[in-house]
């Protein structure tokens, strides 16, 4: 049995970035950029007005007061027909290009317009060159580097790519992840369980976890505990970059998954990790054939919280690294324990918990949880606390390591 640190090292060794693919901006959020991006233009591409008002020559407003003849009205998206000469002005809207001859903009609130004489009376403080103007190239110069390969794309990156004329971009492919639940006791969610049966909750849970990790889930349904059916379903799953199985990896007589995987050409890397819940977790690699990438295979225990924890620690690491997220491994944050907690056992325990932000920093509260079959307890949780393998009471206020299940949980804190 290996430690979680050793298990993560093995997963990282076998999981690297996938090949690039072309995606439109509408389908690229969360992907990792696979190319450097260089600007093909200045931004802004012209001197532009920062507010509604009048484009003027600052030399006409050394005192801050003047009556100037309006030569035209210039909305955004139009180009001036006439230059601004001495004693003249152009009424200008936010974002419009500054007319030739003008070097400043006076905001409309400091002006009054006389329609009869077509003049603008300006009464303000002395006007300086460049006032209320954003100059060409002030943000970005043509040829300037704006985004680097390896950047995880979000709204601000996609908006910037759109500004610089990149409707599609090269990103690292995100893995397809097949999910197969195993066990004679399982029935579909819509079916009423008979004696000794339970509904297939793990598939729905794992599909959602895969989506949250940024990959594409491919549910394969339920496989009965027979070598034939397991072999057929596993063969389908091995066509994808990752295969996750739930159940059939413990030491029972019908825990057939490891031997069926071996028969399918999957090389075992490790079996059993020193964690609670999730000790029986299995990991192996089916080497790629015909130029295809390796398929990483995770055999997670059937108890739902064991599957959940095994995914968050190990399978999510593989997805992150294959998608180009670095370092990809779980990165705990420190939070203060909200109450005394009795830790115990011979293995590190990942206890479902609720993480929240307060004026004093992160606070985490362990939820009431009775073990690896208690999926209902996780409804109250958004994270898990890593408690050490020691028998002790950890006092309220102590700092503990917490792994959030969703980055949205931590994105709102300042």
| Close Cβ partners of 241 (under 8 Å, ≥ 6 residues apart) | 18, 175, 176, 177, 293, 295, 296, 322
Residue 414 has pLDDT above 50, yes or no: no
Q: Is 328 part of a structural domain of the chain? A: no
Same domain, 339 and 367: yes
Same structural domain, 211 and 302 = yes
For 343-377, write each residue's pLDDT tens digit: 887 899 999 999 999 999 999 999 999 999 999 99
User: Would you state the pLDDT for residue 411?
Assistant: 52
Over the stretch 37-93, which tens digit does the pLDDT of each residue have? 999 999 999 999 999 999 999 999 999 999 999 999 999 999 999 999 999 999 999
pLDDT band of residue 410 (cuts 50, 70, 90) is: low
In a domain, 327, yes or no: no
Shared domain for 377 and 239, answered yes or no, is no
Q: How confident is the model at residue 292 (pLDDT cuts 50, 70, 90)?
A: confident
Structural domain contains residue 79? yes
| Beta carbons of 306 and 317 less than 8 angstroms apart | no
pLDDT-based confidence at residue 298 (cuts at 50, 70, 90):
very high
- DSSP of 302-363, one letter per residue? SSHHHHHHHIIIIIHHHHHHHTT-SS-S---EEEEESS-EEE-SSS-EEEEEEEEEETTEEE
User: Which of 172, 196, 226 finishes a domain?
Assistant: 172
pLDDT on residue 250 = 78
Do 166 and 25 share a structural domain? Answer: yes
* pTM of the complete model: 0.84
On whether both 86 and 105 belong to a single domain, the answer is yes
Average pLDDT across the chain, whole number: 94
The one-character DSSP state at 14 is H
State the chain's maximal CA–CA distance in angstroms.
Answer: 98
Closest CA to 313 of 279, 364, 357: 279
Residue 252 has pLDDT above 90, yes or no: no
Q: What is the pLDDT of residue 253?
A: 59
Answer yes or no: do 180 and 229 share one domain.
yes
Q: What Rg do the C-alpha atoms of the chain give, in angstroms?
A: 31
- Please report whether residue 33 resides in a domain: yes
Omega of the bond leading into 44 within 30 degrees of 0 (cis): yes
Over 90: is that where the pLDDT of 326 sits?
A: no
Residue 152 maps to which CATH number? 3.90.105.10
Q: Which structural domain, as residue segments, surrounds residue 242?
A: 4-19+173-322
Q: Is 412's pLDDT higher than 80?
A: no
Residue 386 in any domain: the answer is yes
Q: How confident is the model at residue 408 (pLDDT cuts 50, 70, 90)?
A: low
Same-domain check for residues 31 and 58: no
Same domain, 193 and 273: yes
Same domain, 37 and 123: no
Mean pLDDT over 98-116 rounds to 97
Among residues 172, 197, 220, the one where a domain terminates is 172
């Amino acid at each position: 049995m290996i430690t979680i640190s050793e298990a993560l090292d093995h997963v990282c060794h076998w999981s690297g970035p996938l090949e690039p693919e072309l995606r439109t901006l509408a389908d690229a959020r969360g992907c990792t950029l696979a190319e450097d991006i260089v600007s093909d233009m200045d931004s802004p591409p012209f001197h532009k007005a920062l507010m509604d008002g009048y484009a003027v020559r600052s030399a006409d407003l050394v005192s801050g007061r003047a009556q100037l003849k309006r030569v035209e009205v210039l909305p955004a998206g139009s180009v001036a027909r006439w230059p601004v000469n001495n004693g003249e002005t152009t009424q200008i809207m936010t974002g419009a290009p500054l007319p030739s001859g003008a070097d400043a903009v006076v905001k409309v609130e400091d002006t009054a317009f006389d329609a009869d004489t077509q003049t603008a009376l300006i009464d303000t403080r002395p006007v300086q060159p460049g006032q209320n103007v954003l100059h060409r190239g002030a943000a970005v110069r043509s040829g300037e580097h704006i985004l680097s390969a390896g950047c995880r794309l979000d709204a601000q990156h996609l908006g910037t790519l759109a500004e610089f004329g990149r409707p599609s971009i090269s990103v690292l492919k995100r893995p397809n992840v097949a999910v197969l639940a195993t066990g004679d006791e399982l029935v579909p969610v819509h079916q009423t369980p008979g004696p000794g049966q339970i509904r297939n909750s793990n598939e729905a849970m794992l599909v959602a976890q895969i989506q949250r990790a940024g990959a594409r889930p491919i549910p394969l349904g339920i496989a009965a505990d027979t070598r034939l059916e397991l072999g057929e379903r596993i063969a389908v799953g091995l066509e994808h970059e990752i295969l996750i199985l739930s159940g059939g990896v413990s030491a029972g007589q019908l825990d057939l998954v490891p031997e069926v995987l071996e028969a399918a050409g999957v090389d075992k890397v490790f079996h059993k990790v020193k964690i609670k819940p999730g000790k029986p977790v299995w990991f192996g690699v089916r080497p790629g054939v015909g130029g295809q990438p390796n398929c990483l295979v995770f055999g997670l225990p059937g108890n739902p919280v064991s599957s959940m924890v095994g995914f968050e620690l190990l399978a999510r690491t593989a997805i992150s690294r294959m998608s180009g997220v670095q370092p990809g491994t779980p990165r705990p944050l420190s939070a203060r324990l909200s109450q005394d907690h009795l830790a115990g056992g011979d293995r590190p325990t990942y206890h479902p918990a609720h993480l929240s932000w307060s004026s004093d920093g992160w606070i985490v509260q362990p939820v009431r949880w009775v073990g690896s079959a208690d999926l209902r307890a996780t409804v109250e949780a958004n994270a898990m606390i890593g408690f050490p393998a020691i028998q002790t009471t950890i006092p309220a206020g102590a700092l503990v390591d917490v792994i959030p299940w969703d980055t949205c949980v931590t994105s709102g804190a300042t």
